[in-house]
Chain A
């Protein structure tokens, strides 16, 4: 049975379906038919559109949809729409876990792309890692998982991960304190998908920590790429 999930549902629910084919429908699952333009407003963020398109394309028998504060209102409404208008079998969850499992991957010496892969796959391919900590990261990246993963290649190895992705690795997706945790001496890029409410945090954290705030709707634009490159260069990264 195909079981989709959205966000970071509680571990005990995931464990119930561990033997099934788990699919993270937040993620890039390859080319699927684009239906979001018909059903969703243009101002929906790229991740919400992707969840919708993936849900329709893969039609999992069940979708475990985290609709708590660890996701967003758009996610909560989309969950309802998929259930009521598209007849999908939705299991709604609210992950309020506070027993953190740590942020070894976020703090490691690995390249950013590899870090994101490990963190996002860790629900399906659940493992404990032993990784060497990067004591002096040259850059920080505060973000949710990005629609365009090309952004990762702009950062040096060992870039420290902050924001919701850090909460995700820790298994505490609605922990605002961890989400807003940043180390002030690390030049940090604060990234949010366009139309995501996390832009409020990104812009203000960037202001306070003298970081670079960027938002991007889907594909990375030349100007966002140039801003990140210039920021890291001019901050001596």
Chain B
């Protein structure tokens, strides 16, 4: 059995005899993947794969188009690959200015006990490029209005706009990562968004294994 794992900063996506998503801090120490990418993957695998390469390969496997932009929004970063005419064109990885945005949404949903999928799309978002700065804006807004739901919705919209700008204001993007399950986030991006789920990088690892390279 070949084990594939995308060890995210907060969540790990693993395919062995089953498909599982578990908190990275709870991944059993004995799990050593055959092919892995992500947080600490060099120590937890026999074969470490660069995350952007895994993302690219995942996109090539899952997207049936020659031109595509695939964006992975993780707990702590944003990364993308752009293909034109079936050929790699561009990549970007915003770890510093995209810091902890996905994780901040998750924390705030838990803290305020709000499900983003129930929230209305706000007209405007906060101009946030960093999860931590965004949290300050939320606290300010709540002090001012007492409306926790609206504050969180504006935060999510702000993050969505940051992703949109970082990826060059595309007309269409394929989305990878946990935020595929966040309706508000998807609707906040002002272009066509096709969610591909949380296993895009793992699919990329499988493709790399299949092709026998990298």
Q: A: which residues have CB within 8 A of B?
A: 210, 212, 221-224, 226-227, 229-231, 233-235
Check B95–A223 contact: CB distance below 8 A.
Answer: yes
A231 to chain B, nearest CB (A): 6
Check A233–B93 contact: CB distance below 8 A.
Answer: no
B56 is contacted by which of A210, A212, A221, A230 (Cβ under 8 Å)? Answer: A230
Check A210–B90 contact: CB distance below 8 A.
Answer: yes
A233 is contacted by which of B50, B79, B90, B92 (Cβ under 8 Å)? Answer: B50
* 18 cross-chain CB contacts under 8 A: A210-B89, A210-B90, A212-B90, A223-B96, A224-B93, A226-B51, A227-B92, A230-B51, A230-B52, A230-B53, A230-B91, A233-B50, A233-B53, A234-B52, A234-B53, A234-B56, A234-B88, A235-B88
Check A226–B88 contact: CB distance below 8 A.
Answer: no
Flag B39-74 by CB within 8 Å of A: 1 or 0 each: 000000000001111001000000000000000000
Check A227–B88 contact: CB distance below 8 A.
Answer: no
How far apart are the CA atoms of A235 and B88 in the complex, in Å? 7
The residue among B77, B81, B96 with the most chain A CB atoms within 10 A of its own CB is B96
How far apart are the CA atoms of A229 and B93 in the complex, in Å? 12
How far apart are the CA atoms of A223 and B95 in the complex, in Å? 6
Check B90–A229 contact: CB distance below 8 A.
Answer: no
A126 to chain B, nearest CB (A): 40
Check A226–B90 contact: CB distance below 8 A.
Answer: no
Known: A229-B53, A233-B214. 15 other contacts (CB 8 A): A212-B90, A212-B91, A221-B95, A221-B96, A223-B77, A223-B94, A226-B52, A227-B93, A229-B50, A230-B50, A233-B50, A233-B53, A234-B52, A234-B53, A234-B56
4 smallest beta-carbon distances between A and B, as pairs: A230-B52, A223-B95, A234-B88, A223-B93
Enumerate chain B residues within 8 angstroms of A222, measured Cβ to Cβ: 95
How far apart are the CA atoms of A210 and B93 in the complex, in Å? 16
Enumerate chain A residues within 8 angstroms of B50, measured Cβ to Cβ: 226, 229-230, 233
Check A226–B93 contact: CB distance below 8 A.
Answer: yes
Enumerate chain A residues within 8 angstroms of B53, measured Cβ to Cβ: 229-230, 233-234
**What residue of chain B has the Cβ atom nearest to residue A236's Cβ?**
B88
**What residue of chain A has the Cβ atom nearest to residue B83's Cβ?**
A234
The residue among A226, A231, A234 with the most chain B CB atoms within 10 A of its own CB is A234
**What residue of chain A has the Cβ atom nearest to residue B56's Cβ?**
A234
How far apart are the CA atoms of A230 and B81 in the complex, in Å? 10
How far apart are the CA atoms of A233 and B88 in the complex, in Å? 10
Given contacts A233-B53, A234-B53, A234-B56, contact A227 B96 (CB under 8 A): no
Enumerate chain A residues within 8 angstroms of B90, measured Cβ to Cβ: 210, 212
Enumerate chain A residues within 8 angstroms of B92, measured Cβ to Cβ: 227
B48 to chain A, nearest CB (A): 11
How far apart are the CA atoms of A212 and B81 in the complex, in Å? 12
Enumerate chain B residues within 8 angstroms of A230, measured Cβ to Cβ: 50-53, 56, 91
